[in-house]
Structure 1
Amino acid sequence: ERLHSYETKRANLQAIERLKDHLISVQLTDPSSKHRIRRAVSEIGKRLSSIRNLLRDRKLELDCAVNAAENFQDDLKKLQKFCEQTEKAIQLVESATIFVPSGTDLDYVRLHEPEADEVANRLEKQWKDVFSLGEAVIDEQFGIVSFDTILEILAV
């Protein structure tokens, strides 16, 4: 939608420039009016360029934020999978009364525990970094609840 709006504004600017050229070519216009028209159109062009640069910068910032959020979500999924596997392994051991569990699930937990700790620490650091930004729009209560939930899952 904004791109369409930008294209419309650009077409309008080109129409203004054509009108400017037409007015300048008209012999009835006095020189001071021609100069004011040129200056006004030039100023509009500068403003449009400035807005375009600001939009480009903002889009880059948003793209970086989207990538960071996607990476954060991927790490959360890895951590959730590990927690589910850990919970399953614990339930197998706790419910074993007649047989001895094979230990395969526990081996998985032991093998992936350092990686899960690393991911959890990285997520905690990223969360704290984002949460510490004063300008970030994060509901403080939501942040606390979400992080407590993550810590509860990690405690399992």
Structure 2
Amino acid sequence: MSSNDISAADPAPAKPAALVGWRLFALFYDFWPVTALWLVASAVFTIAYTLSGHGQRENIPPFSALQWALWLVCWLIAGGYATLSWRRGGQTLGMRPWRLRVIGADGAEPEWRALAIRYAVGTVSLAALGLGFWWAWFDRDRLTWHDRASGTRMLRVPKRPK
């Protein structure tokens, strides 16, 4: 029997890693460019608020429509950053050092709709104290809530040979 033959006695392949730690490292990394974009949006809102007749030192009132609009814009900015990055190469800036990539369940490039679902469910997952991320430790396929909901997968790309 040659070494290329597969016998029935070979053990089943191990479960893939849950990648929870790598995902959290990537999220931390991505927090910084997204924060810079949020600061720009906040500056635009603050300038518009000041130009609309409010004092320079007057804050945007808490729980006002303007503040909710700013939160929505910041959420959309982060979503745009993530979905554009995933669509443009499967990786955000934070995913590159950890060699993580988002792919469709079939291995192809994910569709826009799947990426939007991934971002929305990922937001809920984070809001639930990361429960959707930690779920990967218990899932039979090591998938998070947003992986399951969107039909996408995150994989760790092997190092390139030198």
TM-score of the two chains, using structure 2 as the length reference? 0.30
Structure having the higher Rg: 1
TM-score of the two chains, using structure 1 as the length reference? 0.30
Structure with more of its chain in strand, by fraction: 2
Higher relative contact order (CA 8 A, sep 6+): 2
